[in-house]
Amino acid sequence: MKYTVATYRNFIFTGLLGLLFIPLFESTTHIKGVKKLEGATEQTDTVPRFSIKNWFNGNYQREEVVILNDSFGFRNIFVRIRNQIDYSLFGKYHARDVVFGKDDYLFDKRYINGNCGTDFIGKENITNVIEQLRFINDTLEKLNKTLILIIAPNKAAYYPEYLPDSVKSCNATTNYAEYIKQLKTSGLHNIDFNSYFIAQKNISKYPLMPKNGTHWSMYGATIAGDSLIRYIEKVRKIELPKADITYGPLRNDSTFDVDIENSFNLIFWFKRQLMEYPKVKFENGPNTIRPNVLIVGDSYYWGLSAAYNIENAFSDKSDFWYYFKKLEHDTVTKNELQQELAREDVIVILATAHNWADIGWGFVQSTYNIYNGHKIKPEDNPAYIRELNVTMENIRKNKKWLESIVNGAKEKGIPLDSAVKLNAIWVMEHEKSQNN
């Protein structure tokens, strides 16, 4: 059978037309095997908000374009191809807050800032938080409950030799250093894994922190989890389930120990370390007690869960609040907090060293408010103080704005610093009202 030129043209046209429909097919059927993008990605509504006003001012059309751009078929594959080309040919990468260190060690910029003290909230503010924690701790002890503070390691402090030369010598005054100093005399139960990991770095059999990840390694998380269980046993004078830990051959991993690398969303892997991935199984004894435990923490908790299965040592009523939010990302209400505090035997606040700039993310202030019977002022919140200082600094950098404040301060007979602070508070309150 002979084919004419027109027949071949029709075949080609049909094939090209079919290719155009493949992305549409994938976007509606979601074919298995298409790897999801990693890292922080913004989610858009599945349906744009329609109204007569939105239609005529163009908002509906703009929302529709954004949604279509974020949901077309095989988008994840095309994004990875684009990212790989940018990285391989131009050295450009699409990963937020990532810093390349020496020997291609990857760091989170926020960890470097925390290690260098650029987010220092001040000695007085830290003292205020410690006092609130002591008050909470005293109240919990009267209720036969235990408060434990955990400082997870900071990769920038653990691998300073791999930081880029662009990172200058760091300030010795950091939130971590000041908290450690005050915790020593506070009487609060605490575990400093940051200093412990650094001390064990050169004698540990396996890496405690990974090259291409930001958290403790699966091996490091296993050590931390086991240490926490033993610490609870010591403080509570109880016996928890015993962890049976077995070690296997070293291997590469494609998830937790390479979370920074995964945020690049490339096609080909970076050079990876061989890591240890222990297997943990809990065994109950005749005197075993599984306490109710609430952990308020950052992403370091996921390592305790993925590597050590720490939830199996606690009761089924135990809970984890991610940045003081429920796993559904819902804000914890006052009533929910009161119920949770009444139910739990142990409350753990877990955060990496750089996150102690805002330890508890509102949990400390809210719990203090409940136990102390009065509302905490905004000035008692370290996050508020940090935002206030940044706003005041921005005002001082604006010459015209600062000049008008100087004139206003002279007319009202108040100090310049007070006038700048009042203006900063007004800006913060105005922005808050605009966002609500």
Tokens of 73: 């078929």
For 192, phi then psi, to 5°, come to -100, 90
Torsions phi, psi for 242 (to 5 deg): -90, 135
pLDDT (tens digit per residue) in 209-227: 999 899 999 999 999 999 9
Percent of the chain at pLDDT > 70 equals 79
Q: Percent of the chain beyond pLDDT 90?
A: 48
Please state the φ and ψ torsions of residue 47, each to the nearest 5 degrees.
-130, 125
pLDDT in tens, 314-363: 999 999 999 999 876 788 888 899 999 999 999 999 999 889 999 999 99
pLDDT at position 239, please?
97
**Across the chain, what does the average pLDDT equal?**
84
pLDDT at 45: 47
What pLDDT score was predicted for residue 17? 64
- Quick: pLDDT tens for 321-331: 999 998 767 88
pLDDT at position 27 over 60: no
Mean pLDDT of 298-303: 95
Rounded CA-CA distance 172/178 in Å is 9
**Has residue 61 got a pLDDT over 80?**
no
Please tell me which residue, 25 or 250, carries the higher pLDDT value: 250
- Predicted confidence (pLDDT) at residue 384 exceeds the cutoff of 90: no
- The per-residue pLDDT for 427 is 87
> Are the beta carbons of 255 and 241 closer than 8 angstroms?
no
In this model, does residue 196 exceed pLDDT 80? yes
Higher local confidence (pLDDT), 96 or 341: 341
- For the chain, the three-class secondary structure string (H helix, E strand, C coil) is CCCCHHHHHHHHHHHHHHHHHHHHHHHHHCCCCCCCCCCCCCCCCCCCCCCHHHHHHCHHHHHHHHHHHHHCCCHHHHHHHHHHHHHHHHCCCCCCCEEECHHHCEEEHHHHHHHHCCCCCCHHHHHHHHHHHHHHHHHHHHCCCEEEEEEECCHHHHCHHHCCCCCCCCCCCCHHHHHHHHHCCCCCEEEEHHHHHHHHCCCCCCCCCCCCCCCCCHHHHHHHHHHHHHHHHHHHCCECCEEEEECCCCECCCCHHHHHHHCCCCCCCCCCCCECCCEEEEECCCCECCCCEEEEECCHHHHHHHHHCHHHHCCCCCEEEECCECCCCCECCHHHHHHHHHHCCEEEEEEEHHHHHHCCCCHHHHHHHHHHCCCCCHHHCHHHHHHHHHHHHHHHHCHHHHHHHHHHHHHHCCCHHHHHHHHHHHHHHHHHHHHC
Mean pLDDT (whole number) for 136-157: 95
pLDDT of residue 370: 92
Average of pLDDT values for 158-172? 86
In 3-state terms, what secondary structure has residue 97? coil
Q: Tens of pLDDT along 114-142?
A: 999 888 999 999 999 999 999 999 999 99
